[in-house]
Chain A
Amino acid sequence: GAGVSQSPSNKVTEKGKDVELRCDPISGHTALYWYRQRLGQGLEFLIYFQGNSAPDKSGLPSDRFSAERTGESVSTLTIQRTQQEDSAVYLCASSANGGIQGQGYEQYFGPGTRLTVT
């Protein structure tokens, strides 16, 4: 079946502009995650959505970052007033059910959006 899709695949923007990144999870997956990966580094958790529960925003680095998800479908990550340090690959992942505390479920990643802030 179809995997996680993300758009755009690449985004170049000027410092100070806003950008919006989109993620389409695997159909039927209730949990959706956003991560950031800077060049040569590991994955940094940003935000987690599970069904209609309040999202876990504990990983968002500043109030310039926000994300939304409608039900169990598409999610958008918005970065306002972009800075050069925001340049990274933004990865979205989904899992079948990440909602049971104390258990994690296999996460499947989309191809990412490579953001370059000039």
Chain B
Amino acid sequence: RKEVEQDPGPFNVPEGATVAFNCTYSNSASQSFFWYRQDCRKEPKLLMSVYSSGNEDGRFTAQLNRASQYISLLIRDSKLSDSATYLCGLGGGSARQLTFGSGTQLTVLP
């Protein structure tokens, strides 16, 4: 089993739709959690950190479920510009580096 798993998609949704992605992890010692957005042939850009209490930034909501060992990202009222690959990154335990999932591809259709 991979340490971090994401549904690769693609998720094709119409503009205005709500879409959610999950990222499951196997290392229970993980302490920090992040969502990154990566556009085609670009570097990953930090979208948001994921806190135990969950956090919201505009149309984006991230949540952490430690019991079931997954994090989620919810995008409301999706825009064409949200089309990208969304990567989850986990850190902590004995490792300083982040371990990334392979990403979930989202395409928002007009």
**A interface with B by C-beta (< 8 Å):** 31, 33, 35, 41-43, 45, 48, 50, 56, 59, 91, 98-99, 101-112
Contact = CB atoms under 8 A, between A and B. Distances in A.
Given A102-B92, A104-B96, 6 more contacts: A35-B97, A45-B99, A91-B44, A99-B96, A102-B29, A102-B31
B43 A107 contact: no
Interface of B: 29, 31-32, 34, 42-46, 49, 87, 89-94, 96-103
21 contacts: A35-B100, A42-B87, A42-B101, A42-B103, A43-B100, A45-B99, A48-B96, A50-B96, A56-B97, A59-B97, A91-B43, A98-B97, A101-B94, A102-B31, A103-B31, A103-B92, A107-B98, A108-B46, A109-B44, A110-B43, A111-B43
